[in-house]
Structure 1
Amino acid sequence: MARFFGELLWKNNLGQYHLTSLENALVEKYAHLFDTDFKIENRSTYLHLLTKAYETGGHTRIVERLIHSDALKSSAILVTESVDPRALKKLSNAKHGCIRLEKQGNSQLKIQAIIHELAKCQVAILHLHPHDIETTIAVAIAKKKFNIRVLFYNHADHVFSFGHGVADRTLELSHFGWALRHKRESENKSTFTGIPLALPKKSTVSKIPESDAYIASAGSAYKFKPGQGYSFPNFVASLIEKIQLPFILIGADPWNSPWWWSIFFQEKFKPKPRLQFANKMSHEKYVSYLSNASAYIDSFPMTGGTAFPEILSLGVPCFGVLTGAHGYTPADRLKSANMQKLSDELLHFLATQERPGINLDEVMEQVYQAHDTDKVAARVAIAASATELEARTLWDNPAAIDTQFYEKIWRNQKLFSMPVHTLPNILLLRLFIGYWLNRNNAT
């Protein structure tokens, strides 16, 4: 029930970001079922816990980078549910290896197996799916028994997640998550660490032959779904009428995204369509493709997150919009106040190759300070004892954060999102539907 409830809250932004009381109640009720009477020798310093590990993106890539840092090299990895074979190969390079938990017959066996692995570490770093209540319970029990420290890497910081209650420190990675600390009751235990990126030693800009020039953007379909007055499809439709370059969008499936249908079918049957859709691709191919773009535009209304500074570090001119749901990188200083200004500034750049008021060297210096993997890892390593000065945000945010941004989008949706990782609980679903029908009156 808790797993299903957690996924409902994760996929539907009600404005509820943690349920510490539920975590504590479940631990108190069920802790006696688990055996903690065993001794472990040769403990690793860090154990990274992932619910699932994928070939690309998300927590997986973050962990891949952190385990090779100087500060966190004494790491082991535990994947509690599923792992892509290619991801497993990369994660197995951790000094103390990567363990994929065998599928268990029920939650009790699963929690017991996780507790056994937790006994082998000194510090647990949680990279969990927001609905992963089993790992949260296991960590809470192991924390009391084995005196381990718990760091919660707040990757999905714009949605609900289990795990906040058990954490000694919440590792924040954006101004958006930082602004939500009061709703998670984590003001006194948050420390800003940022997102690790594989940045090149030096950013260079390659000369792009005019015949091969294109503008690009990338991201999953939901990141472009219009909301809060922002429409990426409308922006692209207007832009391609003013430029000769093709616009290539990677990862957004137009067939399953109704917000793209109008422009998609308009362009599809033209002899030379200016809007082109490309399928998702491996990270290496994705980086190679985008590094040759004449300009890159970050997704909105939902930001592309790490893609923006990562592409910028390759020397590609980057643009975007400060929607209020930004704050994940110092590169936000390159973004525009609204869609009209974005269009004006992009067109000016394409015509002149100039960006008035932008000090790119200064922005890049901040990007490296915020995202260099060894610098992020060093901040993670001292997180448990970080002073107020060490815990603070790393850069000045160029525009105010709207912490209700995603809540407003959700309240205006015509349908709610059903869990896909968990079998439904009919009682909770009935209660949730009642809430949904009265959502605009709910507080």
Structure 2
Amino acid sequence: MPDPLQAGANAGRLAAARVAIAEQAATLDRFVRAAVRCDDDAEAVALAQAACHWSARRHPGRLADVALERLLHDIGRRRVPGRPDDHRPAADADDVRRVLHVATEVYATGGHTRVIERWIERDHRRSTLLLLGHDAPLPASAATAARRAGTAVVRTPAETPPLERAAHLRALAVLHDLVVLHVHPDDVVPALAFADPVGRPPVLLFNHAGHQLWAGVGAVDVVASLWAPDERACVARRGVDAERSLPLPLPAAARRLPDRDAARAALGLGSDALVLLSVGTGYKVAPTLEPSFAGIARTLVEADPRIHLLSAGPAPGDRLLPDHERIRPLGIVADLAPLLAAADLLLDTWPISGATALLDAAAAGLPAISLGDPSPDADAGVRVPHGMLEGAVHVVGSVPELVAHVRATGDRDPAERGAARRALADAVARRHGDAGWSAALEELVTAAVAHRGAARVPQAPRTDEATPSEAVMQLVLGAIDYRPEHAYLQAVPALPVARRPADATELQARVAALDRPAPAGARVVAAPPLQAGAIGRMLDDARRHVRAGRASGLVVVAAPADVQAAVGLLTAQVGEDDELDVELVAAEGLERIARPGDVVLAREALTA
């Protein structure tokens, strides 16, 4: 089957994008190494946040980063610890009565906000919505959904440091039976808040950004994805166990459409017009590949005088669509119902698909046509997967096929088209409507309860060459000016005040210094109390220093008379496959053992 993402000049463009992605991965690694080297947890978290900001706008060709995960997990367990008596775990899904939904921000438009609204309205459980970084008034639709569902809305001030926000989140979470994360992929707060599984409820992530790296694999018990390709990617590329990566269909919004003829008359369209509708923000139709969305639109209207295109998202004058009397850019449209009523077919956005728009159209009985790879195993990161929405989306591999399908739609008998629309709406309602979606939710909640505390840091998720979808995202987002300095600057509010750069020159210097070398031959040196707890703390600290590159191994100093006891304690906690190299030295005190550049652990810090 042809794949238009790879056709003609597109293959060369994607190859160039993959080169850029490899360079971006190296920058991500620089941020992470700098974060791991930090002695101050707050600064380490800020640099980790900068790394995540970077990866959200400059794809690194991976969906999880092991070093980043270990860092956030270690800091979270130390700084936001749990206690066994903090929370009474739910016995089963029926025992889950209070749900905490967590979002970084919500918007007037966009798919993930619609999912939050529909979730809290449909779920019979009592909900709380926590906004981690949203200072503006709630969008009208979100406020209405919260009011209808009796949902309390809680905010944390945006200027609150991440570790404090994580503590606030943890404290609120333990008052609930389930946590559902709708957060941005570059938000590190949940990764810190839920790293320690002790005394917390199960944590479920709604994977609304399945094509991006996100932080917190080690803090999420179950992942809910929109479709099978994202489920598989969570296992292969994020290191999530297969039994913890599950589907949750998008919830369809039942809506009553106005009369078709009245909707058309209001738009100045005749009854014989063949009306296409596209829905998607400007970046989804950016002219990065051949053909461009503008070129597709022009080809369609020139192929048949009946064809009109209504485009919600692109605004008049922004040059994303050609200037043509039968192509109408409408800008942001608050209520799509009149457009859905007037349209004969939804034209999927290109090169980035619009999953929520496709669902809303299908729920209204409006079929869709999408340019993409029609094979069942196609990469589906930015394109709709084959067979989505009960067959509502017809995927074709070329523009001539797309034109032929659109014209054939216009040639169908109106009564036949009406019957097909009703059948499509019914089919979508069975899976994505109240009953089907609620059944899928209950399976997901059951899995979350069963796997509470199963979250773990991935060992080594697969990092293959960047997928075509990731290369497309690079082409789209790469046109936006975004440099490492911008990522660092975004994270500056999370830095301790004394560590914030004073001006642009210092900011540049900080970024340039991310790769400063660790001292050659440095070791961690400690003379711990001979107690199991102190030995455990020493080993944990030593592992962090070794991972950070500040030391090559651990030297344990014990008095000659205590060597045998030290051997027993170390053997009990250091396995054969441990990442840490440990040397035991018999000496009275460590002053003669430590060398310049060594990391010396204070004995007092190892004592409980």
Matched, 1:326 2:326: no
Distance (whole Å) between structure 1 residues aligned to residue 270 and residue 491 of structure 2: 52
Match of 1:177 among 230, 233, 237: 230
Q: What are the ranges of 5 or more consecutive residues in structure 2 without an aligned counterpart?
A: 1-46, 89-94, 449-464, 493-506, 515-608
In the alignment, residue 231 of structure 2 is paired with which amino acid? W
Matches within 5 A, 1:141-160: 141=196, 144-160=197-213
2:400 counterpart of 1:337: no
In the TM superposition, residue 365 of structure 1 has moved relative to its aligned partner by 4.9
| Residue 468 of structure 2, aligned match among 373, 397, 405 | 405
CA contact (8 A) 1:53 1:88 kept: no
Checking the alignment, whether the CA contact within 8 Å between 1:171 and 1:190 is kept in structure 2 is yes
Kindly state the Cα deviation for residue 297 of structure 1 after the two structures are TM-superposed.
0.8
RMSD between aligned alpha carbons? 3.6
Out of 11, 25, 33, the residue aligned to residue 57 of structure 2 is: 11
Equivalent residue for 2:344, pick from 282, 291, 294: 294
- Following TM superposition, by how much is the alpha carbon of 1:368 offset from its aligned partner in structure 2, in angstroms? 2.3
> Contact (CA 8 Å) 1:49, 1:127: kept in 2 or not?
yes
Structure 2 residue aligned with 1:398: none
- The residue type paired with residue 246 of structure 1 is H
The match for 2:195 is 140
Corresponding position: 1:252 with 2:314: yes
Equivalent residues of 1:176, 1:403 under 8 A apart: no
d(CA) in 1 for partners of 2:233 and 2:293?
A: 26
- Displaced runs of 4+ in structure 1, greater than 6 A? 40-43, 358-362
Aligned to 1:90: 145
1:377 paired to 2:438: yes
**2:100 equivalent to 1:76:** no
Structure 1 residues 28 and 423, CA gap change in structure 2 (3 angstroms): closer
Q: Is the 8 A contact 1:287 1:311 kept in 2?
A: no
Counterpart among 311, 317, 326 of residue 274 in structure 1: 326
SS at match of 1:296: strand
Structure 1 residues 50, 30: closer, same or farther in 2, change over 3 A? closer
Q: Paired residue for 1:50?
A: 103
| Residue 234 of structure 1: aligned partner | 295
1:96 CA displacement: 4.9
What is the match of residue 197 of structure 1? 252
Distance 1:204 1:63 in 2: 26
Q: SS in structure 1 opposite 2:73?
A: helix
Distance of 1:332 and 1:228 partners within structure 2:
25
The 5 Å alignment of 1:21-40 reads 21-29=67-75, 31-34=77-80
The code of the aligned residue for 2:345 comes to A
Query: 1:142-184 CA deviation, whole Å, 9 max, x = no partner?
Result: xx23231111110111222223332111101123313423112
Measure, in 2, the Cα distance between the counterparts of 1:104 and 1:39: 27
Quote how far apart the aligned CAs of 1:55 are. 2.6
Shift of 1:63: 1.5
- The structure where helix makes up a greater share of residues is 2
Aligned length: 401
Please list, as runs of the form range in 1=range in 2, the aligned pairs for 1:109-120 lying within 5 A after superposition: 109-120=164-175
The residue matched to 1:77 in structure 2 has which SS?
strand
2-structure distance, mates of 1:367, 1:140 = 38
User: Does the aligned pair in 1 maintain the 2:248–2:440 contact within 8 Å?
Assistant: yes
Q: 1:332 to 1:10 in 2, by over 3 A?
A: farther
Q: C-alpha distance in 1, partners of 2:217/2:431? A: 23
Aligned-partner Cα distance in 2 for 1:128–1:318: 29
